[in-house]
Structure 1
Amino acid sequence: MEASYVNSSVLFVSHRPLNYTFGEKTVYERCRDMPAVLIWYLCLQFINMFLGIPANLVVLWLIHKNKGDSSTSDIFILHLAVLDVLFCLIPPLELANIVFINNSSSWNVLYFFYGTKDFSPLFLSCICLDRYVAVVHPITFTKLKDRKHRAVLAMGVWVIILAYAAAKCAGNITNFEKVFTAMILAAFAFMVFCNIVILWALRQSGPGKDEMHPVKKRAFKMVLIILAIIVFNYFPPVALFPFQDYFSPDVFFCYIHYVAFGLMDFSSTIQPMLYLTKEKLRLSLSCCKTSTTHIQ
C-alpha cells in the first residue's frame, strides 16, 4: 500500500471513505484488482439518475397538485424528494472523479452532495415519527395536525443537513466520521422502532384476532413495505461500518464501503417509487368508489 496515497489510520465511515493525496491514483486504479463492486456501485448511481430524477419530480408534482388533499407527512416527503433530485445529479461527476481524475475541487463538490445524502434519513425519521403519532397517539395527532410545527421541523432538518455537508467539505474535523455513524445507528433504530410499534398497533386494532378493517389492512401492508425498504437500504451500513477494523483497508475501501452506500443511495429511486405506487393505489380505490356510487 502506498503511504502517499492512503493514511490507513483514518477511515471515514461515510461517502468519503479515505484521505486522498490528490493527483495520485484514482479510486478505480486503487481498486483495479477488485473492481466488481465499484462498477456495480456506479451502475446503481446512474440508475438513480435515470429513474430517480423523473420519479422524484413526479412526486413533487403530485404533492403540489394534491396539496388540498395531502397527508401530514407529505411535507417531509416533498423535502426528501428535493434532496434526492439534487443528489441524483452527481453520477457524471462521480464517474469522472472515480475513474479518470482525482481533483480536490471536484471531490469537494461531491463531498457536499454526499453529506446531504448521508443525513437524508432524518427526513425519513420525521415521516416515521408523524405516522407513529397518528397511529399510536391519535388524540395528540389531531391537536397538532393543522399546526406549522412540521414546516419548522423540516427547516431545522435542512439546517442540520447543510451544516453537516459543509463540515464534510472542510474535511479537517477530528473524528468527524463518528457523527455519521452515530446518526445512522440512531435513525435506523428509531425508524425500525416506530414502524414495528405501528404494525403492532394496527394488528391489535382489528375487531377479531384474525380480522382487520380493509383500510387498516392496507396501512398495515404499506408500513410493512416501508419497514422492509428501511432495512434493505440502511441495514448494510449499520451492520458493517461498526466492524470496519476487522477488514483490511483495501477490502473495506473497494468492497464494504461501496456495497453499503450503493444500497443506501438507491433509496433515492426506491422511495419515490413507493410513494407513486401508494398514490396509484389510492387513485384506483377512489375510482372504484366513484364507479360504485354511479352504479347505485
Structure 2
Amino acid sequence: MEESLYLNITLNSTLNFTLPPQQSTENSSVNTTAKQFSVFDGCEEMVAAILFDLAVQVFNVFLGLPANIMVMLIIYHNRREPSTSDIFIFLLAFLDAYFGIMVPISFLNLYYWQSKEAWLAIKFVYGVKDTSGPLFLSCICLDRFIAVLFPITFSRLTHIKYRAGCSVVVLVLTFSYASAKTIGGIPHFERIFTAEILMVFSLMVLCNLAILQVLQRSRAGRDEMHPMKKKAFKMVLSILAIIIFNYLPLVAMFPFQDSYTPDVFRCYIQPVGFAFVNISSSIQPLLYLTRLEKVPYLSDACARRCSSKKPSEPTSA
C-alpha cells in the first residue's frame, strides 16, 4: 500500500514537473512564428496596392533617375549664374535620384533577399521621400512668393546663406523623420505625416495662388507679360500642378484614417496614396527640363553631331 502510494506521488510530481516546459515550448514556438519577419509587413494577403506602388516606381528608374541627374548637371553647369531656388531644386533632384536607385533594391528584397536589414534601409529611403519633397517644394514656393509679392525684401535676402540655412533645416527634419520611421514603435506615427502634409499642402497652394493672382494682375492692360514674370508664372503653374496631382490624394485620404480598418489603411490606402507622391520623382525633373529654353548638354551633343556631318555636295545636272 505504501509502495503504491509512493508510486502515485512520484508519477504526479513527475507529470507536474514536465508538463509546464512543454507548454512553454509550444508558447515560445507560437510567439516565434508570430514575430517572424516579413517584407510585406503584415500585408501578405493584400499585396495588390504594394505592387501597384512598386510598378509606378519603375518610372522613377527609367525616367526619373536620368532626368534628376540631368537637372543636377544643368544646375552645376549654370552655377556661375544661379537662380535663388537652385539649391532647393538641386537637393530635391539629388534625393529623388537617391530614391530612384533604391527601387531595384526594393524588388530584389521582396522576391529574393527577404532581408530585414535591407527592408529597414528601404523604409529609411521612403521616409526621406515622404518629407523631402513637400518641404523643398515649400521652400521653392516661399522663395517665389517673397520674390513676387515682396521684391524689396527679396532683394535683401538673395545671399546663398539664407537658402543654405533653410536647406539644412529641411535636411535635419527629413532625416529625423526617416530615422523615426525606420525605428518604428511610435504611436500614431502616421498622423505626424498627415499633419505635415496638410500644413505643407495648404501653404503651397495659398502661396502659388497668391503669386498667380499678382502676376495676372500685373498683366492687366498689356498685350504681353514681361519675360521674367512669364517665366515665374510658368514655374508657379508647374509647381501647383505637381502639388495638386501628387499630394491631393494624400490630403483627401489620410485625414480619414479612422474610417478604415488598420489593415486596409496600411495595405491599401497608404501604398496607393504614396504611389502618387513617389511618381513626383519623375514628374518634377521632367517639368523642370521642359521649362528650360536650352538644355546645355543635349544642345552641345546635337551641335557636335551636326558639325561632324559633311555638307552634302551639289548634285550634278
Instruction: Report matched runs for 1:64-103 at 5 Å.
Output: 64-99=76-111, 102-103=114-115
1:151 maps to 2:164: yes
RMSD across aligned C-alpha pairs, in angstroms? 2.3
Distance 1:52 1:195 in 2: 24
Which amino acid is the alignment partner of residue 185 of structure 1?
Answer: L
Q: 1:176: how far off?
A: 2.4
CA contact (8 A) 1:26 1:102 kept: no
Q: Report the Cα distance in structure 1 between the residues aligned to 2:39 and 2:172, rounded to whole angstroms.
A: 35
Q: Which residue does the alignment assign to 1:169?
A: 182
Q: Distance in 1 between matches of 2:223 and 2:257?
A: 45
Q: Which has the larger radius of gyration?
A: 2
State, as a whole percentage, how many aligned pairs show the same letter.
49
Q: Is the 8 A contact 2:84 2:160 kept in 1?
A: no
1:130 maps to which residue? 143
1:101-112 paired onto structure 2 within 5 Å: 102-112=114-124
**Superposition deviation, residue 219 in structure 1:** 2.9
Query: Residue 205 and residue 249 in structure 1: after superposition, are their counterparts in 2 closer, same or farther (change >3 A)?
Result: same
> Paired residue for 1:31, among 35, 46, 52?
46
Amino acid at match of 2:286: M
Give distance in 1, aligned partners of 2:165 and 2:130.
21
How far 1:50 sits from its partner (Å)? Answer: 1.7
Deviation of the 1:211 alpha carbon: 5.9
The number of residues matched between the two structures is: 261
Residue 55, structure 1, aligned to residue 70, structure 2: no
Which one has the bigger helix percentage? 2
Partner of 1:42: 54
Cα separation, 1, equivalents of 2:160 and 2:44: 53
Residue 241 of structure 2 is aligned to residue 228 of structure 1: yes
Paired with 1:193 and 1:83, the residues of 2 have a C-alpha distance of 25
Shift of 1:86: 0.9
Deviation per residue, 1:200-236 (Å, 9 max, x gap):
1101112418764354334323312220111100111
Supply the AA of the counterpart residue of 1:276. Answer: L
Q: How far 1:148 moved relative to its partner?
A: 1.2
User: Is the 2:85–2:140 Cα contact (8 Å) retained in structure 1?
Assistant: yes
Answer yes or no: is 1:246 the counterpart of 2:265. no
For structure 2, list consecutive stretches of 5 or more residues without a partner in the other structure.
Answer: 1-33, 297-317
State the 4+ residue runs in structure 1 displaced beyond 6 angstroms: none
Q: Closer, same or farther in 2 for the Cα pair 1:22/1:90, shift >3 Å?
A: farther
Give the secondary structure class of the aligned counterpart of 2:44.
helix
State yes or no: 1:183 paired with 2:196.
Answer: yes
Q: How far 1:100 sits from its partner (Å)?
A: 5.5
Q: TM (normalized to structure 1)?
A: 0.80
